[in-house]
Structure 1
Amino acid sequence: MMEERGVMVKDVESVPLDHIFGEAESCLTRHEGRSSEGFMEHILKHAAKELFGIDVEEIVYRTLRNRDFQEVSLERDGETLLQFAAVYGFRNIQTLVHRMRKGRVPYQLVEVLSCPGGCLNGRGQSEDEAGRVDKALVQQLEEVYSSLPVRLPEMSSDIQRLYQDWLEGQDSPRALQALHTQYSHQQQPHKLPPDIQW
């Protein structure tokens, strides 16, 4: 869009970042975990503390099929308490769906991203002259992201203000309606073929 309008980054005047409440943050921050994922690491640490009283300092990923299909586990005394997975790319998603149909998915949470390599490797990113993802740029983005300080969501004064002002409290009916999902079993009208290809 910038190219279509003839806008060059070097010609644009630098301005402060917008802030949802109109106040400038002292610095950019990031969530726990790798740059391409959502909040899987944060959820695992929070669940470990809330459900089992365990403080998790470091999360170790175990690669299954490839680096885009990994899992993390919380174990105590040889027993697996929680098991999460990060699944990136449609081929790995298809593998996950096949395992789900066979009842062989032990995960309490699966983080799914359609782009192989995660969001930083997605179609919205910069490409090289041949139209491929610029791997050097992706690596640079990973390094910049990793250098930012971590700020947990529950420590953000902005999030606390959002809960109070807009959601009327953390456990309010409005917060439950806006932020929580309820699941119910649905009968399948017909069974999909097990060899469906995406």
Structure 2
Amino acid sequence: PLKNYTIDMFSPSIIKDDSKCIRCQRCVRTCAELQGVNALTVAYKGDKMKISTFFEKPMNDVVCTNCGQCIIHCPTGALIERNYIEEVWSAISDPTKHVIIQTAPAVRVGLGEEMGMEPGERVTGKMVAALKRLGFDSVLDTDFTADLTIVEEGNELLSRLKKALVDNNKDVKFPMLTSCSPGWIKYIEHLYPEYLGHLSTCKSPQQMFGSLAKTYYAKARNLDPSKIISVSIMPCTAKKFEAHRPEMHDSGYRDVDYVLTTRELAIMIKQAGLDFKELEPAKYDRLMGDSSGAGVIFGATGGVMEAALRTAYELITGRDVPFENLNIMPVRGVEGVRYASIKIEDPLKEWAFLDGVELKCAVAHGLVNAKQVMDDIKNGKSDFHFIEIMACPGGCLGGGGQPIPTNPEIRQKRTEAIYAEDADLPIRKSHMNPEIQKLYNDFLKEPLGELSHQLLHTTYTKRERY
């Protein structure tokens, strides 16, 4: 180990502890070759050699996207997620606090691996049972707000198409880029800030959930929002940074108070002494716990695109997407960049201007592929309407907070589990989720409405390129 080591704890997502570093350079290669970010580099020579950043700045100040792929590949724990377990235990044990928890779709297909189960085993029911045993007051599902994100994002895409094709508004930006992956958001803020206007203004499902927890949920449960502690379990280290963003306080409170990774949840379950394999499966609590299959597939690359197309196509035509069992196969797969198009025929009267339009879409996962997509846009080679980008290889199920090891074979098994969960659910389209319909009827009133803009949409920030 280094003699004059430092511990970088400035980032809300990642801790870099040089005392544990064996200088194997796996993190440097991961950041450069897998993600194309180059936030980590080798500094000095001989026995003074160390893994560092540009001018030895803190990780929080450089182009690091907080994706956590370096953590997945670090063999010694020199790079590790920022741990919030103690804060969450403290909140649970405080009788004056109402602690609610949301679980991301990719967690349910990864958590079992930490408990000695095979990769790709779905443990949704056991996970919910464990969270209730741990003492959370309400166990809810991020898939619910994934459905909400699709309704908002689908309507935003249609709104942009209308402004461009009917109103001839030259300021409308195409292609529209998804905004669910916080690693991707920080990447574009650093490296392509001139294209921030192309991003969907929708918050991610995690942050939509957080803002509704302290408004809609608090009102329905007759709770003081200041007493609600909102916790999320994510497959992602960048979500910790996202929860800290100053833009994420639209409810008047911080939307999400603490973010734990899949690995951190596994630690809590073990600390509590629960025999995970023997737990009787339980169901999510109501109000913000119901989801469609479209919300579940958010965890896989191409899932956001598929969910959005299932909803947008039906809004335009009144019919299901023309794919067997709603499975839009062209956007699924493991290729770094994938392309799909759907021709709109015989639309509803309101959308007659889209008749004959070929809706062109692309999907990219891993930031090295995101660079390829963005360079195509920059060079005028992109004629797409809608592009989904996820920072991690495989999407969220290959996230930096998932169980280690995460390799292509394990990612494939997790992917199969996510699509199996989608196929098993009775509702497969986001806008058909009855809890989403109730949310609009009782609270938000309409997609892209005034309250939606206040609570569910956000802005982005240009960042320096160090």
TM-score tier by shorter-chain length is 0.5 to 0.7
SS at match of 1:106: coil
Structure 2 spans left out of the alignment, 5+ residues:
1-263, 346-355
The answer to whether residue 401 in structure 2 is matched with residue 113 in structure 1 is no
Give me the whole-angstrom Cα distance separating, in 1, the residues matched to 2:378 and 2:338.
19
Question: Which residue of the other structure, out of 359, 364, 372, is the alignment partner of 1:82?
Answer: 359
The answer to whether residue 401 in structure 2 is matched with residue 132 in structure 1 is no
**Partner residue in 2 for 1:195:** none
**Partner residue in 2 for 1:16:** 283
Work out whether residues 294 and 428 of structure 2, in 8 Å CA contact, stay in contact via their aligned partners in 1: yes
Q: CA deviation at 1:11?
A: 5.3
Question: Which residue of the other structure, out of 92, 95, 116, is the alignment partner of 2:372?
Answer: 95
Q: CA deviation at 1:104?
A: 1.4
**Partner residue in 1 for 2:306:** 41
SS at match of 1:103: coil
Give me the whole-angstrom Cα distance separating, in 2, the residues matched to 1:169 and 1:51.
17
Give me the whole-angstrom Cα distance separating, in 2, the residues matched to 1:85 and 1:15.
37
**Partner residue in 1 for 2:330:** 61
**Partner residue in 1 for 2:400:** 123
Give me the whole-angstrom Cα distance separating, in 2, the residues matched to 1:45 and 1:182.
26
Percent sequence identity is 25
Work out whether residues 68 and 87 of structure 1, in 8 Å CA contact, stay in contact via their aligned partners in 2: yes
**Partner residue in 1 for 2:180:** none
Q: CA deviation at 1:154?
A: 1.7
Compute the RMSD of aligned alpha carbons: 4.0
Distance 1:68 1:142, change over 3 A: farther
Distance 1:110 1:81, change over 3 A: same
Give me the whole-angstrom Cα distance separating, in 2, the residues matched to 1:62 and 1:160.
27
The answer to whether residue 424 in structure 2 is matched with residue 148 in structure 1 is yes
Q: Which amino acid aligns with 1:116?
A: P
Work out whether residues 163 and 175 of structure 1, in 8 Å CA contact, stay in contact via their aligned partners in 2: no
Q: CA deviation at 1:175?
A: 2.7
Q: Which amino acid aligns with 1:119?
A: C
- The two structures have a TM-score, normalised by structure 1, of 0.67
Which structure is higher in RCO with an 8 Å CA cutoff and minimum separation 6? Answer: 2
Q: CA deviation at 1:15?
A: 3.3
Q: Which amino acid aligns with 1:83?
A: K
Q: CA deviation at 1:85?
A: 0.9
SS at match of 1:82: strand
- The two structures have a TM-score, normalised by structure 2, of 0.32
**Partner residue in 1 for 2:451:** 174
Work out whether residues 311 and 429 of structure 2, in 8 Å CA contact, stay in contact via their aligned partners in 1: no
Give me the whole-angstrom Cα distance separating, in 2, the residues matched to 1:136 and 1:72.
21
Distance 1:182 1:9, change over 3 A: closer
Give me the whole-angstrom Cα distance separating, in 1, the residues matched to 2:281 and 2:317.
48
